[in-house]
Amino acid sequence: KAGVTQTPRYLIKTRGQQVTLSCSPISGHRSVSWYQQTPGQGLQFLFEYFSETQRNKGNFPGRFSGRQFSNSRSEMNVSTLELGDSALYLCASSPAEVSVREQYFGPGTRLTVT
Protein backbone atom coordinates (compact mmCIF):
# COMPACT_ATOMS: atom_id res chain seq x y z
CA LYS A 1 0.00 0.00 0.00
CA ALA A 2 1.13 3.50 -0.68
CA GLY A 3 2.02 5.54 2.39
CA VAL A 4 0.58 8.82 3.59
CA THR A 5 1.26 11.61 1.13
CA GLN A 6 1.32 15.31 1.81
CA THR A 7 1.42 18.21 -0.61
CA PRO A 8 3.15 20.50 -1.02
CA ARG A 9 6.38 19.43 0.66
CA TYR A 10 7.72 22.97 1.00
CA LEU A 11 5.97 26.29 1.14
CA ILE A 12 7.06 29.87 1.67
CA LYS A 13 4.38 32.41 2.54
CA THR A 14 4.24 35.98 3.75
CA ARG A 15 2.67 37.15 7.00
CA GLY A 16 -1.04 37.75 6.62
CA GLN A 17 -1.50 35.25 3.81
CA GLN A 18 -3.37 31.99 4.12
CA VAL A 19 -2.29 28.49 3.23
CA THR A 20 -3.93 25.14 2.53
CA LEU A 21 -2.12 21.85 3.06
CA SER A 22 -3.29 18.52 1.76
CA CYS A 23 -3.02 14.97 3.08
CA SER A 24 -3.94 11.64 1.50
CA PRO A 25 -4.09 8.81 4.04
CA ILE A 26 -3.22 5.18 3.51
CA SER A 27 -5.96 3.43 1.58
CA GLY A 28 -8.61 2.14 4.00
CA HIS A 29 -7.63 4.45 6.86
CA ARG A 30 -10.45 6.76 7.85
CA SER A 31 -8.79 8.54 10.77
CA VAL A 32 -6.54 11.48 9.92
CA SER A 33 -4.70 13.58 12.48
CA TRP A 34 -2.70 16.76 12.00
CA TYR A 35 0.30 17.95 14.03
CA GLN A 36 2.55 20.97 14.13
CA GLN A 37 6.21 20.31 14.92
CA THR A 38 8.65 23.02 15.95
CA PRO A 39 12.05 22.72 17.66
CA GLY A 40 10.79 24.49 20.78
CA GLN A 41 7.37 22.85 21.20
CA GLY A 42 7.84 19.43 19.69
CA LEU A 43 4.86 17.64 18.15
CA GLN A 44 1.63 19.46 18.96
CA PHE A 45 -1.78 17.96 18.15
CA LEU A 46 -3.97 20.13 15.90
CA PHE A 47 -7.06 18.04 15.16
CA GLU A 48 -8.35 14.62 14.21
CA TYR A 49 -10.97 13.65 11.64
CA PHE A 50 -12.88 10.46 11.06
CA SER A 51 -15.49 9.99 8.35
CA GLU A 52 -15.60 13.74 7.69
CA THR A 53 -16.19 14.59 11.37
CA GLN A 54 -13.76 16.36 13.64
CA ARG A 55 -13.54 14.24 16.77
CA ASN A 56 -11.01 16.27 18.73
CA LYS A 57 -8.91 19.37 18.44
CA GLY A 58 -5.84 20.78 20.15
CA ASN A 59 -5.22 24.17 21.71
CA PHE A 60 -4.65 26.23 18.61
CA PRO A 61 -6.34 29.49 17.59
CA GLY A 62 -9.28 29.50 15.24
CA ARG A 63 -6.98 30.51 12.38
CA PHE A 64 -6.18 26.81 12.13
CA SER A 65 -8.95 24.77 10.58
CA GLY A 66 -9.34 21.53 8.75
CA ARG A 67 -11.73 19.28 6.95
CA GLN A 68 -11.99 15.77 5.65
CA PHE A 69 -13.59 14.60 2.45
CA SER A 70 -15.65 11.50 1.77
CA ASN A 71 -12.58 9.72 0.34
CA SER A 72 -10.76 10.38 3.68
CA ARG A 73 -8.39 12.91 2.15
CA SER A 74 -7.92 15.86 4.45
CA GLU A 75 -6.89 19.48 4.22
CA MET A 76 -5.84 21.97 6.82
CA ASN A 77 -5.96 25.72 6.41
CA VAL A 78 -4.13 28.44 8.26
CA SER A 79 -5.40 31.95 7.75
CA THR A 80 -3.68 35.25 8.53
CA LEU A 81 -0.27 33.62 8.81
CA GLU A 82 2.10 34.69 11.57
CA LEU A 83 5.87 34.22 11.78
CA GLY A 84 5.31 31.73 14.60
CA ASP A 85 3.37 29.46 12.26
CA SER A 86 6.62 28.44 10.59
CA ALA A 87 6.87 24.73 11.29
CA LEU A 88 6.74 21.22 9.92
CA TYR A 89 3.09 20.20 9.54
CA LEU A 90 2.56 16.48 9.75
CA CYS A 91 -0.44 14.42 8.85
CA ALA A 92 -0.98 10.89 10.11
CA SER A 93 -3.55 8.24 9.36
CA SER A 94 -4.62 5.36 11.57
CA PRO A 95 -6.36 2.07 10.81
CA ALA A 96 -8.16 2.19 14.15
CA GLU A 97 -11.68 3.52 14.45
CA VAL A 98 -12.25 3.90 18.20
CA SER A 99 -8.80 5.26 19.01
CA VAL A 100 -5.82 6.84 17.26
CA ARG A 101 -3.24 4.18 18.02
CA GLU A 102 -0.64 3.10 15.51
CA GLN A 103 -0.39 6.25 13.44
CA TYR A 104 1.34 6.36 10.07
CA PHE A 105 2.87 9.71 9.28
CA GLY A 106 3.45 11.47 6.01
CA PRO A 107 6.71 13.26 5.18
CA GLY A 108 5.29 16.61 6.27
CA THR A 109 4.95 20.06 4.75
CA ARG A 110 7.65 22.52 5.72
CA LEU A 111 6.00 25.94 5.99
CA THR A 112 8.13 29.05 6.25
CA VAL A 113 6.42 32.36 6.98
CA THR A 114 8.42 35.49 6.20
Partner 1 sequence: SQKIEQNSEALNIQEGKTATLTCNYTNYSPAYLQWYRQDPGRGPVFLLLIRENEKEKRKERLKVTFDTTLKQSLFHITASQPADSATYLCALERSSYKLIFGSGTRLLVRP
Residues that bind partner 1 (CB under 8 A): 4, 31, 33, 35, 42-43, 45, 48, 50, 55-56, 58, 88, 90, 92, 99-108
Minimum distance of partner 1 from residue 16's CB (angstroms): 27
Name which of 24 and 103 has its Cβ closer to partner 1. Answer: 103
d(Cα 39, Cα 20) in Å, to the nearest integer?
22
Q: What is the DSSP string of 54-112?
A: EEEE-S--TTEEEEE-TTS-EEEEE-S--GGG-EEEEEEEES-SSS--S-EE---EEEE
Smaller CB distance to partner 1: residue 18 or 112? 112
Task: Pick between residue 46 and residue 78 the one whose CB is nearest to partner 1.
Answer: 46
Least Å distance between CB 80 and partner 1?
25
